[in-house]
Amino acid sequence: MRSKQSLCLNILAVIIAVVIAACAARMSDEASAVRIDKDDIGGAVTSAKGPEAGVWVIAETNDLPTRFARMVVTDDQGRYVVPDLPKANYNLWVRGYGLVDSEKVKAAPGNIVNLSAVVAPNEAAAAQYYPSVYWYSMMKVPDKGEFGGKGKIPAKLTQNEYLNLIKSNGCANCHSIGQRSMRTFPADVPFPLGKFANSQEAWFRRVQSGQGGHTMFRDAVKELGGAIFPYLADWTDRIAKGELPHAKPQRPQGVERNIVVTTWDWLDDKHYLHDLIASDRRFPTVNAYGPVYGSTELSVDVIPILDPKTHTTKNFPAPVRDPDTPPATEDKPMQPSPYWGNEQVWKSKANNHNGMFDRNGRVWFAASVRGPNNPAFCKKGSDHPSAKAFPTERANRHLSMLDPKTMKYTFIDTCFGTHHLQFDANDRLWTSGGGPVVGWLDMKIFDQTGDAAKAQGWTPMILDTNGNGKRDEYVEPNQPVDPTKDKRIVAGFYAVMPNPADGSVWGAFRSFPGAVVRVAPGSNPSETALTEIYNVPLPGFGIRGADIDKKGVVWASLASGHLGSFDRSKCKGPLNGPKATGDHCPEGWSFYKYPGPGFQGIGDNSAESSYYSWVDQHNTFGLGEDVPMSTANLQHGLVAMKDGKMILLTVPYPMGFYAKGFDGRIDDPKAGWKGRGLWSSSGDRTPWLMENGKGSKPLAVHFQLRPDPLAK
C-alpha cells in the first residue's frame, strides 16, 4: 500500500513540475511576445498565483535633472510596456491591490524585464496600498437623530451640512484625508505632537498644527462645534487596533489599463502648488510640447516651470508691484507643525492662485499686485463705467501676465478680486473671486492700450425679478423681493465658465447646498448684465469646482459624492420673474455617484470628496469630446465619465495624490495617443504627507491614454 502511495505521490510531483514548467515557458513566450523599442521596457508580471493582470509597473529614476517616474498597468496576461523612457537607469517594481510592493529591479530602456509580484501575506498588509477613500469611509458619521439640537451637534447643522464640512468644503479640501499619515499618529516626525490622555485630546492638538491650523481649528471648533473630535478619535483608535476598511478596491479594468502616468518633481519640499496650466483651454494646441507653469498660492512667491522635454525645472520670481503689499496670510503657526516646528513656511505676497494661457502663448495669473485697498478709479465718484454702476472698495487679488518669449512679468491692477480665470471666444478674461461682482479684462483692449483700467469691467449680479428681460431698478440682497423691480444677489463665483454655446458666463456659488449662476452680459455688461441662479437640489449638495461643455451643460464636483450636471434647456418653468429665485428648476439637475465606498449607516453614498471638475471639450485625453472629468483625490487620481461609466485614472505612486485642478493639451494631433494628455499638479498643502514623507516635493503629472496596455 505504501509503495502505491509513494508511486502516486511521485507521479503527482512530476505532473506539478511539468505544469509549472509549462506555465513558466508560456510566460516566457508571452514576455518575448511583448514588442518594445530601444526606449521602452517591457515584460511580464507573475506571482505565486500566476500572471498578475491589472497591476502597476512603476519605473523611477533620479538620473535626470529632476526625479522622474512613469507608470503603466498590466494587461489580461500580466504583460506590460513602459513606453518612451528617457535614457537613464531605472528602479522597476510592481504595485497592485492584493499585493505588497515587489523588490525593486535595476533596468534600462531597450530590455525585456520579467517581474515577480508579491502576494500580500494578509489583508492588513494588502490594505496599506488601498486609496485613501477606503480608510476614510471607515469614519462614523453622526446619526440624523444627533442633529437639530437633539444631540451634541450644533443645532444649526444638518447631517448634510456636517458631511459638506468633513468632505469637499472642509477637511478634505486640502488633503487626501485617509492616507497613512492621517489615519495614524506618525511618531517618526521632527516635532512630535506630544503625549495625551486619549486620541480625542491628540486630535484637538493635531488640527492646530502649522499655519493651516487656524483654518482647521476654525472648521472643527466653530463650524462643527467640536463635534468631530470624538469621531476622529474613534476612527484612528479602531484603525490602531487593527480594524480594516469595509470595502476593497477593484484592480483597473478595461480602458483603465491603457493609462500611462508620468510624474516629475518640481518646486521644493517645503512649499506647495495649488495648480498648473499647460495650454489655452479654447485652443489646446497652444504651447505644444512646451513648459507647464505652476501657481503656488499662499506658499511662496515663485512661478515653478517644468520643461517636460528636458526634464528640467526652474523657479521664476513672482513679484508684487508695491513693496508694502502684505503677505496673503500673516498667520504664524497656531501650534508647532510636526514637520516644520514654529517655522512660518507660507510667506507669499503675490498669492498666485490659478493660471490660464491665451491664444498667443502668454500665461495670465490670478495674483496680487498690491494691497487690498482699491485705487480711486474703482470707487464712488469715478467716471469708470463699471464704477458708476457699482463702485468697489477692495480687491485682495488681481491679475498678472508672463510672456514666456521675453519672460516679462506684467502687473494688471483690477477693482475686483480674482480666483479662477477663463477666456471667452472674444478674448475677454473672466474671473471668479469678485464676491458681489463678476469681473473681466478685455485682452484686445489691454494689448492695444496697455491701460488696465480701460480694459476691465465688472458687474453686480441682478436677477430679472420683474421678468421684463432688461435690467431695471433693483432691491438689495437684504430686502424682500419686489415683483415690480429686479433684485441684486451676492453669489460670488468660485469656478468661472464662459459658455461656448451662447456667450453667457457661469459660476459655481459655494453656499449650502450651493448653486450655479448664469450671467448674460448683454451689450454693455456693467449696466445690462442679467443673472439667473439655480440651487443644487437633493440628493446633491456642497458644490465646489465646476466646468461647462460645448453645449452649455455645467458639470460640478459635489460634496454629496456626486458629479452633478445642470442643463438649463431642461427647465420647464419661467427662467425669470418673482419665483425664479433659485429653486425653480430642479429638473435641470442630474447626479452621478462617484466610485468608491461610502460612509456606513447613511444610505447609498460615496465618500469621495472631489475638489474640481473639468470638461474635455476638445478630446485632449482621448476619450472623446465633452467628456466630464473630476479630481478624485481620495482615490489618488482623476475620474472621467464616459457613456455613463466612471473611469478612474489612478496615480499609484507616491500614494497621496491630490490635485486642485487640471488641464488638457494636444501636442500633436497627428501623433495619436502620444500627442495628447491631461496635466495636473499634486501635493496638496502639505506635500510631506504623501507616501515618501518629509522631503517629498510637489508633482507635475501627465496622464495619457493608449489604445491598449502594450502600445508603444
Count of Cβ atoms closer than 10 Å to residue 290 Cβ: 18
Mean pLDDT of 54-60: 99
Could you tell me the pTM of the whole model?
0.95
pLDDT at 159: 97
> Which of 17-21, 177-181, 244-248, 285-289 comes out lowest in average pLDDT?
17-21
Hey, what long-range contacts does 615-619 have (CB within 8 A, 24 or more apart)?
Answer: 615/547, 615/548, 615/549, 615/555, 616/640, 616/664, 616/678, 617/281, 617/500, 617/549, 617/550, 618/284, 618/664, 618/666, 619/676
Q: How far apart are CA 695 and CA 688, in angstroms?
A: 6
C-alpha cell at 95: 504595485
Given a cut of 70, is residue 309 above it in pLDDT? Answer: yes
Question: How high is the pLDDT of residue 31?
Answer: 52
Q: Do 533 and 491 meet the contact criterion of CB atoms below 8 Å apart?
A: yes
Domain spans in the chain, listed from the N-terminal domain onward: 2-127, 137-240
Give the per-residue pLDDT at 151: 80
DSSP label at residue 484: T
Percent of the chain predicted with pLDDT > 70: 96
- Region 507-526: mean pLDDT is 97
- Looking at residue 148, its pLDDT comes to 87
- Residue 608 contacts by C-beta under 8 Å, 6 or more apart in sequence? 133, 561, 594, 595, 596, 632, 634, 635, 639
Query: Is residue 331 very low, low, confident or very high in pLDDT (cuts 50, 70, 90)?
Result: confident
**Is pLDDT of 9 > 70?**
no
Give residue 413's pLDDT.
Answer: 98
Mean pLDDT of 72-91: 98
pLDDT 10s digits, 122-139: 999 999 999 999 999 999
Do the beta carbons of residue 690 and residue 654 sit within 8 Å? yes
Q: What is the mean pLDDT of residues 95-121?
A: 98
The pLDDT tens digits of the residues spanning 346-394 come to 999 999 999 999 999 999 999 999 999 999 999 999 999 999 999 999 9
Taking residues 660-672, what's their average pLDDT? 97
* Measured torsion, CA atoms of residues 184, 187, 190, 194, in degrees rounded to the nearest 10: 90
* 58 CA to centre of own chain: 22
Average pLDDT, the chain: 95
Q: Is the pLDDT of residue 5 over 70?
A: no
- Inform me whether the pLDDT recorded for 26 exceeds 90: no
Q: Nearest-CA neighbor of 422 among 504, 539, 481? A: 504
Could you confirm whether domain 2-127 is CATH 2.60.40.1120? yes
Residue 532 has pLDDT above 80, yes or no: yes
| Model confidence band, residue 330 (pLDDT cutoffs 50, 70, 90) | confident
Give the mean pLDDT of 185-213. 95
**Tens-digit pLDDT profile for residues 425-482:** 999 999 999 999 999 999 999 999 999 999 999 999 999 999 999 999 999 999 999 9
Residue 20 has pLDDT above 50, yes or no: no
User: What's the pLDDT at 522?
Assistant: 97
Q: ω into residue 304 within 30 of 0, thus cis?
A: no
Question: Does residue 6 carry a pLDDT above 80?
Answer: no
Report the pLDDT averaged over residues 264-269. Answer: 97
